[in-house]
Amino acid sequence: MGTVGIVDPGVGSIRSAELAFRRICREIASPPRVQVVTAPHEARACDALVLAPRGAFAPIAQALRRTELARVLAEHLAQQRPVFAIDLGMQLLFERCGPAPGLGLLLGEVRQLEPTIQLMTGLPARVPHVGWNRLLIERRDSRVIDALGRQGTWVSFDHATHVIPEDRGLIAATTEHGAGSIVAAISRGSLVGTQFRPERSQRAGIRMIVGFLGSLAG
């Protein structure tokens, strides 16, 4: 069924995503092989890539460029090979976070969340945004997004920054934060990105990962 590469930039931690993908692959029929990739030739040999590091934006972006893993991610997207970018992984695809340059594979930027007043409670929204929130699914043109199931599905967030895509057509799902909404998921072609952590989102997250793994089979 192919190989899924968990991209390891050598900075931060990929352990959460790695353990989740390995566990789910043990529970499905004809699973792909999951391996950690640290070099361009390893990543190029993979049928799909997962970018899901935990850590700080600037040093991880620098490490991805230095190791040329950023170039391989760009090649995968150009070749319409599946890429799943999770949390900070999704943010890294954009042009910048403050003064720190991102990978520039998508137009837009990453900004700090603002503690704006919540309409329901009259209290400031929590920053960092940690906990469970409902999704408003805006597009289901990706089998991975569609795997989330019904509208209003609850998923788990843990972040203090959020993406603002230049192209609003990227947005696949949003969630409420404070007085407005923020991007919760994006999709385009073979790319899916989430601000939430699927591996911590119980059944909805498992369905997403299974859907992504299923995309390797066509």
Amino acid 123: pLDDT: 67
User: Of 45 and 177, which is predicted with more confidence?
Assistant: 45
Cα–Cα distances in angstroms (integers) from residue 19 to residues 16, 32, 133, in the given order:
6, 14, 23
Which domain CATH number covers 25?
A: 3.40.50.880
Q: Which domain, by its residues, includes 7?
A: 3-217
Q: How many domains does the structure of the chain reveal? A: 1
Q: Is the pLDDT of residue 200 over 80?
A: yes
Whether residue 116 has pLDDT greater than 80: no
Let me know the angle formed at the C-alpha of 74 by 71 and 34, rounded to the nearest 5 degrees: 85
85 neighbors 52 (Cβ within 8 angstroms): yes
For 38-73, what is each residue's pLDDT tens digit? 999 999 999 999 999 999 999 999 999 999 999 999
Residue 139 clears pLDDT 70, i.e. is over it: yes
Q: Are strands 48-51 and 33-37 parallel, antiparallel or unpaired?
A: unpaired
CB 124 within 8 A of CB 118: yes
| First and final C-alpha spacing in the chain | 10
Check residue 218 and give its pLDDT: 54
Backbone angles phi, psi at 182, to 5 degrees: -130, 165
